């Protein structure tokens, strides 16, 4: 089965006939690590990275203002 292959950042997108797609993470979005074809991505992310690498609050901490509304209710319509 032939596929058209394109890259979107760290993702490889294969588009097959009938518009079926498969998307594969080819390198880590947080460091320079390139994944081997069958390397478990989850293991690298679990062993090598922390939530802070993705801009999140460290594990076990609650961000101040976490329960504040995302949007203020305006007068509007
Ligand atoms: Zn990494």
Is residue 26 one of the residues assigned to a domain? yes
Instruction: Determine the structural domain holding residue 40 and report its residue range.
Output: 3-52
Is residue 77 one of the residues assigned to a domain? no
| Residue 71 alpha carbon to ligand 1 centre in Å | 33
| Residue 8 alpha carbon to ligand 1 centre in Å | 17
Structure-block tokens of residue 76:
């509007």
Q: What is the pLDDT of residue 63?
A: 87
- In tens, the pLDDT along 35-46 reads 999 999 999 999
Q: What is the pLDDT of residue 37?
A: 92
Residue 45 CB contacts under 8 Å (≥ 6 apart), including other chains: 28, 30
Domain count, the chain: 1
- In tens, the pLDDT along 47-66 reads 999 999 999 999 999 988 88
What percent helix, strand, coil does the chain show, rounded to 5?
20, 25, 55
Report phi then psi at 17, rounded to 5.
-55, 155
Is residue 24 one of the residues assigned to a domain? yes
Check pLDDT > 80 for residue 75: no
Is residue 21 one of the residues assigned to a domain? yes
| Residue 45 alpha carbon to ligand 1 centre in Å | 6
Is residue 58 one of the residues assigned to a domain? no
pTM to 2 decimal places: 0.70
Is residue 23 one of the residues assigned to a domain? yes
Q: What is the pLDDT of residue 53?
A: 95
Residue 59 CB contacts under 8 Å (≥ 6 apart), including other chains: 50, 51
């Amino acid at each position: 089965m032939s596929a058209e292959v394109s890259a979107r950042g760290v993702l490889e997108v294969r588009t097959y006939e009938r518009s079926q797609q498969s998307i594969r993470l080819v390198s880590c979005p947080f460091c320079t690590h390139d994944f081997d074809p069958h390397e478990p991505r989850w293991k690298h992310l679990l062993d090598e990275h922390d939530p802070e690498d993705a801009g999140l609050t460290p594990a076990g901490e609650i961000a101040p203002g976490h329960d504040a509304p995302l949007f203020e209710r305006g007068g509007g319509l």
